[in-house]
């Protein structure tokens, strides 16, 4: 079986995922694409190049008989409306992160999915498919180094555009860690605090405070510091160090060559997310395609999307109040449906 995919939002990652689906994933092809009217000419050109149908309206694309499953790669605000429409149309849907910025929208998605009776939603938290994170998780789960105590993380982008503002550092960028770190540790966060250094980089713009520091605490008391610095200039630099009782586990940036010359030894740093996480995205999309064919979605769920959004909402609130804000999750409404082992913990 070949899954016929309709993709909404042919921007940066939309194009990268189209290339991935057409050339590197088996069992799937893009048959329909859609974007906003202002991008009609470009979207039609992309449609023609891959032999897909152009849709001017995302909801029509979702309803089309030609489309078996939906990929949402629009900007964040449009994610929940299209996810809900895909559930309504009884179609599997891959929605890029965040599932929704507002936790209330995540609850709407979960309610619709549970009412529908089977999992249809996978959220694009691709770090769960990254070899580096996977190996760190395996070491942690082995308990060979004792219990995790502290995490030191950085999430750095070389630069961002002027449409990227202060809240996006948490809601669009740190949301990756808000999902990945609880998944890594097997427990949820209970509080968040954001502090803004008085001194900012000269490479930012008036609507963006950059960098920002986020401090998180988990249920068992593990402390996390996370630096978000999205105009760092030197590359796409993702780090995660887990300090355990008798060892330190570190994520390494994958690189495949080094240069030794003139008393220097250097290795390249990834340029952007598409390069740093290429293996993770490929594995994520192959796994999603296989699960659509089996009619059994299993990757990061709407519940995971909800938990991450509650954490980002608490962090955003903390930036405004200057206080440590609690991360209060509802009890998982259906732990069996969402593969959650304890009341709140996702597996």
Ligand X SMILES: NC(=O)c1ccc[n+]([C@@H]2O[C@H](COP(=O)([O-])OP(=O)(O)OC[C@H]3O[C@@H](n4cnc5c(N)ncnc54)[C@H](O)[C@@H]3O)[C@@H](O)[C@H]2O)c1
Ligand Y SMILES: O[C@H]1[C@H](O)[C@@H](O)[C@H](O)[C@@H](O)[C@H]1O
- List interacting residues with ligand Y (CB under 6 A): 157, 172-173, 176, 230, 273
Size of residue set near ligand X by CB under 6 A: 23
Regarding 74 and contact with ligand X (CB under 6 A), the answer is: yes
Q: 137 is in the binding site of which of ligand X, ligand Y, none (Cβ under 5 to 8 A by kind)?
A: none
Strand 259-261 vs strand 212-218: parallel, antiparallel, or unpaired? unpaired
Query: Looking at residue 295, what DSSP letter applies?
Result: T
* CA dihedral angle for residue 108, residue 114, residue 119, residue 121, rounded to 10 degrees: 0
Segment contacting ligand X by CB under 6 A, of 28-36, 147-155, 220-228, 305-313: 28-36
Q: 74 is in the binding site of which of ligand Y, ligand X, none (Cβ under 5 to 8 A by kind)?
A: ligand X
Residues 165-184 that bind ligand X (CB under 6 A): 172
Cβ-Cβ contacts under 8 Å for 51 (sequence gap 6 or more): none
d(CA 237, CA 90): 39
Q: 73 is in the binding site of which of ligand X, ligand Y, none (Cβ under 5 to 8 A by kind)?
A: ligand X
Q: 157 is in the binding site of which of ligand Y, ligand X, none (Cβ under 5 to 8 A by kind)?
A: ligand Y
Regarding 13 and contact with ligand X (CB under 6 A), the answer is: yes
Q: How far is the CB of 225 from ligand Y (least distance, A)?
A: 18
Q: How far is the CB of 154 from ligand Y (least distance, A)?
A: 11
Regarding 80 and contact with ligand X (CB under 6 A), the answer is: no
Q: How far is the CB of 190 from ligand Y (least distance, A)?
A: 24
Do residues 282 and 178 touch, judged by C-beta distance below 8 A? no
Strand 53-55 vs strand 69-72: parallel, antiparallel, or unpaired? unpaired
Nearer of residues 67 and 175 to ligand Y, judged by Cβ: 175
Segment contacting ligand X by CB under 6 A, of 67-75, 184-192, 304-312, 327-335: 67-75
Instruction: Tally helices (H) and strands (E) across the chain.
Output: 11, 15
Residues 256-295 that bind ligand X (CB under 6 A): 273
Q: Assign residue 126 a region: left if phi > 0, alpha if psi is -120 to 50, beta otherwise?
A: alpha
- Degrees (nearest 5) of the Cα angle 24, 28, 31? 115
Cβ-Cβ contacts under 8 Å for 155 (sequence gap 6 or more): 173, 174, 176, 177, 226, 227, 228, 229, 238
Nearer of residues 173 and 188 to ligand Y, judged by Cβ: 173
Residues 33-62 that bind ligand X (CB under 6 A): 34-36, 39, 58
Q: 12 is in the binding site of which of ligand Y, ligand X, none (Cβ under 5 to 8 A by kind)?
A: ligand X
Regarding 78 and contact with ligand X (CB under 6 A), the answer is: yes
Coil vs helix vs strand at 300? coil
Segment contacting ligand X by CB under 6 A, of 5-13, 137-145, 178-186, 208-216: 5-13
Segment contacting ligand X by CB under 6 A, of 9-17, 84-92, 214-222, 237-245: 9-17
Both tokens assigned to 4: 């016929």
* CA dihedral angle for residue 288, residue 294, residue 300, residue 303, rounded to 10 degrees: 140
Residues engaged in binding ligand X (CB under 6 A): 8-14, 34-36, 39, 58, 73-76, 78, 96-97, 124, 126, 172, 273
């Amino acid at each position: 079986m070949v899954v016929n995919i309709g993709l909404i939002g042919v921007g940066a990652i939309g194009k990268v995922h189209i290339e991935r689906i057409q050339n590197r994933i088996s069992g799937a092809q893009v048959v329909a694409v859609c974007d906003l009217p202002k991008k009609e000419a470009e979207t039609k050109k992309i449609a023609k190049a891959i032999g897909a149908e152009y849709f001017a309206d995302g909801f029509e694309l979702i309803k089309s008989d030609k489309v078996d499953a939906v990929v949402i790669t629009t900007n964040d605000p449009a994610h929940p409306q299209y996810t809900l429409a895909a559930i309504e149309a009884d179609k599997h849907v891959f929605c890029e992160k965040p599932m929704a910025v507002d936790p209330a929208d995540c609850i709407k998605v979960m309610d619709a999915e549970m009412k529908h009776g089977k999992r249809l939603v996978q959220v694009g938290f691709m770090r769960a498919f990254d070899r580096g994170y996977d190996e760190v998780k395996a070491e942690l789960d082995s308990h060979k180094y004792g219990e995790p105590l502290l995490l030191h993380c950085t999430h750095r982008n070389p630069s961002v555009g002027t449409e990227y503002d202060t809240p996006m550092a948490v809601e669009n960028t740190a949301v990756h860690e808000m999902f990945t770190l609880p998944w890594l540790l097997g427990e949820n966060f209970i509080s968040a605090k954001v502090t803004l250094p008085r001194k900012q980089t000269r490479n930012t713009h008036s609507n963006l405070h950059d960098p920002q520091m986020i401090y998180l605490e988990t249920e068992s008391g593990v402390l996390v510091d996370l630096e978000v610095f999205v105009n760092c200039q030197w590359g796409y630099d993702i780090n995660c160090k887990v300090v355990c009782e008798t060892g330190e586990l570190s994520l390494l940036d994958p690189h495949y060559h080094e240069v030794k010359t003139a008393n220097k030894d250097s290795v390249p740093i990834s340029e952007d997310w598409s390069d740093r996480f290429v293996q993770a995205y490929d594995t994520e999309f192959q796994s999603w395609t296989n699960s659509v064919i089996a009619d059994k979605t299993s990757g990061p769920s709407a519940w995971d999307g909800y938990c991450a959004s509650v954490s980002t909402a608490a962090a955003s609130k903390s930036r405004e109040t200057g206080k440590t804000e609690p991360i209060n999750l509802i009890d998982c409404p259906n732990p069996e449906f969402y593969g959650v082992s304890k009341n709140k913990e996702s597996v």
